[in-house]
Structure 1
Amino acid sequence: MNDFAIFMDWAEFAVRWLHVVTAIAWIGSSFYFIALDLGLRKAPDLAPGVSGEEWQVHGGGFYHIQKYMVAPDRMPDDLIWFKWESYSTWLSGFALLCLVYYLGADLYLVDPNVLDIPVWQAIGISVASLALGWILYDTICKSRFGDDNTRLMIGLYIILVAMAWGYTQVFSGRAALLHLGAFTATIMSANVFMIIIPNQTIVVADLKAGRVPDAKYGKIAKQRSTHNNYLTLPVVFLMLSNHYPLAFASEWNWLIASLVFLMGVTIRHWFNTHHARKGNPHWTWAATAVLFLIVMWLSTAPMFRPDPEAEAALPAGAQRFADAEGFAEVADIVTGRCSMCHAAEPVWDGIHYAPRGVHLETPAQIALMAREIYLQAGVSHAMPPANASFIEPQERARIVAWYRGAAG
C-alpha cells in the first residue's frame, strides 16, 4: 500500500507526459494544415482538380505541395492519414481524467460547498456530460440551424457558456474548468473520429471504385475542422487552469472560461487572416489583451472559502488518516511549516493565494491532503520550495511514518 501511492503518482506523471506529447502532435499537425490550406495559391498551370499549391522550405529542403479540392483522379499508393494524433490525445486525456479526478474524486471532483453528492454520481455526471455534449453538438451541426456557419458558431458559443456555468454548479472549481476543457476536446476528437475521417474514407472508396466523389463530404469535414481550429487554444488554457487558483477558484470562474473562448477566436483570426495573405488584423491582439485584462480583474473576486461545517464530515479514506497514530504531531508540523502559504489568507510575503488552491490550516484539510503531503513533503523534498520554512528531516520522517501507518 505504501508503494501504491508512489506508483500512482508516477502513473499519473507518465500518462500526463503521454497526453502532452500526443496533444503537441495533434495541435501541431492541425495548425500546420490550417496554415497550409489558407496559404494555397492558384496558378495557371495547375493540373485538373488541383485548387492551389504552395512552395515551402524546411530542414534544408524544398517542398511543393498541391491540394485537390475533391480528390485526385486515382488513389496514390502511399496515402498518409492524420488521425492517431487526435485519438491518442483523447484516450490519454480520458485516462488522466480517471487517474486524477475519478480515483481522487473526494479531493478534486466533489466539493460539498458546491454540491454534496456521492462520488459515483459525480463520475456518472462527468461521463454523461462528455457523451451528451457530442450528441447535442453533432445534432445541431447536421440540422438546418447548422447551414449558416456564423449562426452555428454563435449558437455553439452559447452552449459552451451554459456548460461553463453548469459545471461550476456541480463540481469543484478545479474540476469544472477541467471538465469544460474535456467537454470541448471530446467534441474536437469526435469530429475527427466520427466525421472527418469517415468522410475521407468515403472519398477514398469512391476513387477506388472508379466513382467521382461527392464534394459535400469535403465541405462537411472542412466545417468541423474549422471548429477545431478555433477551439484548440481555449482547450489548452482550460487544461492548464487546474494549476492556477486565480482561474478556477474565483467566483467568476465560469465567466473567465467563457471569455477564454473569445480569446481563442481573436488569436486564431489573426493567424488565419495572416496565413491567407489577407492582411494582419492587429486589432485582434488589442481585443485579446482587453479580454485578458477583464479575466485578470474577474480573478480578483472573492475566492471560494471552505465551509467549516462541510469540513467536519471527512470522506472515509481521509478519516482514516485523521484517526491514525501520529496525526496530531503531523498536523502541528504541517500547520507550522506549510500553512503560511497554504491558507485562505496567506501571510508569506509575495503569496496572495494558496498555491494550487490547497489549504492546510485545519486538521480536516490536512487529513484530506494526506497523500499529497506524503509525496510532496515526506517522500520527496518538493515542499516547502527550497525548504523555505526549514522543515527538519525528522519532521519529514514523522510524516512518512504517519502516512504509511494509516495506509497499512
Structure 2
Amino acid sequence: MYEYAIAWEWLAFAARWFHVITAIAWIGSSFYFIALDLGLVKRPRLPPGAYGEEWQVHGGGFYHIQKYLVAPAQMPEHLTWFKYESYFTWISGFLMLCIVYYGGADLFLIDRHVLDISPSVAILISLGSLALGWVVYDLLCKSPLGRNTWGLMAVLYVVLVFMAWGYTQLFTGRAAFLHLGAFTATIMSANVFMIIIPNQKIVVADLIAGRVPDPKYGQVAKQRSLHNNYLTLPVIFFMLSNHYPLSFGTQFNWVIAALVFLMGVTIRHWFNTTHARKGRPTWTWIVTVILFILIMWLSTVPKLLTGETDAAAVAPAFQQFAGDPHFPAVKQLVSTRCSMCHAAEPVYEGIVRPPNGVMLENDAEIAAHAREIYIQAGRSHAMPPGNITDITPDERKLLVAWFESAVEGKKQ
C-alpha cells in the first residue's frame, strides 16, 4: 500500500509537469500569433493575396513575416502546423483530473455538506458537464447569434457564470474552480481540434486541388481563436487557484469566478489594443485592479453581506497564539479534525506524509501555523478537503475567534 501511494504521488507530479510544459507551449504560441496578427501592416507591393506583413527582431536576427487571406496562390513546400500544443495540454490536464480528483474523489471532489453523492456519480457529472459545455458552446456559435461576435461573447459569459454557480452547488470549492477551468479549457481545445484545424485542412486541400478556398473557413476559425484568446487568462487563474483557498473556499466563490472572467477580458483588451497599434488603454488596468480588490473584499465575507466581523489577515509573532484563552479548545479541535493527516505518521488512508510538510501535533506546531489554519479552515472551507472530518460552522468560528483574538492581543 505504501509503495502504491508513492507511485501514485509521482504519477500526479509527472502529469502536472507535463501539463505545465504543454500549456506554456500552447499559450505562448497563441499569444504570439494573436499579437502578430494584430500587428500586421498593409504596405504597397505586397504579393497577391497577402493581407499584411510584419518585421520582427529576435535572437540576433530579423524576421519578415507575411499573412495571406485566405491562402497563397499555391501550396508552399513546407507548412508548420500549430495544434499538438493544444491537444497535449488538454490530454495532460484531463490526466491530472483523473489522478487527483477522480482518484481522490472522497477527499478532493465531493463535499457531502454541499451534495451527498457517491464518487461514481460525481465523476459522471464531471465528465458530462465537460462534454455538454462544448456542445452548448458550439451550437451557440453556429446559431444566428454567432454572426455577432460580441453578442455571442456576452451570452457565453452568462453561460460561464451559470457554470461557476452550478459547480459550487455540486463539488468542493477547490474542485468547482478546477472544473470551471477544465470546462473552459475543453471549449478552447475543442475549438482547435473540431473547428480551426479542420477548416485549415479544407483550405490546404483546396490549394492542392487547384481550387480557390472559401473565405468562410478562415473567418470561422478566426472567431474561435478570438474566443480562445479572451478565455486563456481565466483558465490560468482557475488552474492555479487550488493554492489560494480565499478564492475558492468562501461563500461568494462563484461571484469571484465571474469577476475573474471579466479581468481576463480587460487584461487581454489592453494587450490586443496595444498590439494592434490602436493606443494603450490604461483604463483597462484600473478596472482590473478594481475587480481584483472587489474579489479580495468578497473573499473575506464582509460584515455588510453576512453580519460577521471583517478582519485583516495579519501575521504577528506566532507565540502569541499558544497563550490565547481560546487555545485549549482550538488544540482539541485541531487534534480531532486535522492531525490525522497533518502528523509525522498520518493515519488517514492514502496519506503517507503530512501535506506540504505541515504537522499539527503539538502546541508549537499549531501556533506556528496559526495563520494557515485561520485562512484554510476558519475564513475559508478549503480544509479539511471536502470537509471529510465534518468540521462544523461553530468550530470554524472558534478558529476565527482564536486567531483574531490573538492578533488583537498582540496589537495591544
Alpha carbons of 1:115 and 1:277: their partners in 2 closer, same or farther (altered >3 Å)? same
Letter in 2 for 1:109: L
SS where residue 157 of structure 1 aligns? helix
Any idea what SS the aligned residue of 1:353 has?
helix
Please give the per-residue CA displacement for 1:171-191, whole angstroms capped at 9, x wherever unaligned.
Answer: 000000100000000000000
Whether the 8 Å CA contact 1:322–1:363 is kept in 2: the answer is: no
**1:336 paired to 2:362:** yes
2:262 maps to 262
**Whole-Å Cα distance in 1 between the matches of residues 158 and 95 of structure 2?**
29
2:241 aligned with 1:215: no
Aligned to 1:381: none
CA gap of 1:322–1:54, structure 2 versus 1, over 3 A, is closer
1:401 alignment partner in structure 2 = none
Task: Name the residue aligned to 1:206.
Answer: 206
- Aligned position for 2:99: 99
State the secondary structure of the residue aligned to 2:362.
Answer: helix
Q: Following the alignment from structure 2 to structure 1, what is the Cα–Cα distance between the partners of residues 164 and 388?
A: 32
Hey, what's the Cα distance between the residues in 2 that align with 1:78 and 1:107? 50
Amino acid at match of 2:106: D
Output aligned runs, 1:191-340, within 5 Å.
191-301=191-301, 321=347, 334-336=360-362, 340=366
What is the Cα deviation at residue 364 of structure 1? 3.8
Residues 354 and 340 (structure 1), Cα distance of their counterparts in 2 relative to 1, 3 Å cut? farther
CA deviation vs aligned residue, 1:222-280 (integer Å, no higher than 9, x gap): 00000000000000000001111100101110010110000000000000000000000
Change (3 A) 1:82 1:162: same
Find out whether 1:36 has 2:33 as its counterpart: no
Q: Relative to structure 1, is the Cα distance of residues 363 and 25 closer, same or farther in structure 2, using a 3 angstrom cutoff? A: closer
Unmatched 5+ stretches in structure 2: 307-336, 341-345, 350-358, 392-412
Q: Following the alignment from structure 2 to structure 1, what is the Cα–Cα distance between the partners of residues 144 and 91?
A: 32
Distance 2:150 2:26 in 1: 25
What CA RMSD, in Å, does the superposition of the two structures yield over aligned residues?
2.7
1:322–1:285 CA distance, 2 compared to 1 (3 A): closer
Residues 363/96 of structure 1: CA separation in 2 closer, same or farther (3 Å cut): closer
Aligned mates of 1:65, 1:3 — CA distance in 2: 53
Encode CA deviations 1:69-94: one digit per residue, 9 max, x unaligned: 10011111210000000000000000
Count of matched residue positions in the alignment of Structure 1 and Structure 2: 341
CA distance in 2 between counterparts of 1:253 and 1:72 reads 49
Deviations 1:125-159 (A, max 9, x none): 00000000000000000000111111101000000
- TM-score, scaled relative to structure 1: 0.79
Determine helix, strand or coil for the equivalent of 2:214: coil
Give the drift of 1:352. Answer: 3.7
Distance change >3 Å, CA 337–CA 84, structure 1 → 2: farther
Q: Determine the C-alpha separation between the residues in 2 that align with 1:147 and 1:172.
A: 37
- Give the alignment partner of residue 375 of structure 2, picking from 328, 350, 353: 353
Change (3 A) 1:111 1:46: same
Task: Summarize deviations over 1:7-43 as a string: whole Å, max 9, x none.
Answer: 1111101110000000000000000000000000011
Q: Match of 1:27?
A: 27
Structure 1 Cα separation of the partners of residues 61 and 144 of structure 2:
47
Give, in angstroms, the shift of residue 351 of structure 1.
6.2
Q: Would you say the 8 A contact 2:106–2:388 is kept in 1?
A: no
Residue number in structure 1 paired with 2:132: 132
Q: Secondary structure at the match of 1:180?
A: helix
Alignment check: 8 A CA contact 1:322 1:364 kept? no
TM-score (normalised: structure 2):
0.78
Deviation at 1:45, TM superposition (A): 0.9
1:83 partner amino acid: K
Q: How does 1:52-201 map to 2 (within 5 A)?
A: 52-201=52-201
| Partners of 1:80 and 1:282 in 2: CA distance | 36
Q: Decide whether aligned partners of structure 1 residues 200 and 116 sit closer, same or farther in structure 2, where only a CA change above 3 A counts.
A: same
Calculate percent identity across the aligned residue pairs. 64
